[in-house]
Amino acid sequence: MLLLVYSQFSTLRAVRQQVTAQQDALQQARLRLQALAQVKGQADRLQQQLSTLQGLLPDRPDEGGLLAEWQGMANDCGLQLLQVQFADYLQQKEYVEMPVTIVLEGQYEGLLAFLMDLQQGTRAVKVKEIKIGKGRQEAPLMRVELTAAVFYTGQLK
């Protein structure tokens, strides 16, 4: 009888050890699943950032898209877009620089709003110089000439 109790006690202890081991394995699996969920969240966020960066530095010039975007920005800011002139593109090591001159006419507040929109636009734009002068009309308008650069990845064609 004592041998039977000892045998059952040993079996019970072994089963408890197995249960504890299984609980530990389950806890480890939960922690791993939680870590994988965090990594997936980071991957989704990184994918969104990559999409944003690819928009800022696309693989082609898309002058037409830029013109439409800038015209819309100027209209929204109460400015008149008078001229957009692209200069010769400059091949850099890993990207192409597209020098551009943008001439606008309007009020000071509109210029500030346009610059903010340009900064938050869909493409990376580096404003190099801003020249401000008197507008064409008698109204209190100013003429603004922005010298800037827009970029895309790839090679000159």
Residue extents of the structural domains in the chain: 1-56, 63-153
Model confidence pTM above 0.75: no
CATH code 3.20.20.70 for 63-153:
no
Per-residue pLDDT of the chain (157 residues; tens, 9 = 90+): 666 666 777 888 888 889 898 999 899 989 998 988 888 888 888 788 777 777 778 888 999 999 999 999 999 999 999 999 999 999 998 899 999 999 999 999 999 999 999 999 889 999 999 999 987 776 678 999 999 999 998 777 6
pLDDT of residue 71: 98
pLDDT of residue 4: 64
pLDDT of residue 40: 84
Residue found by looking up tokens 């091949």 in the block: 91
pLDDT of residue 11: 82
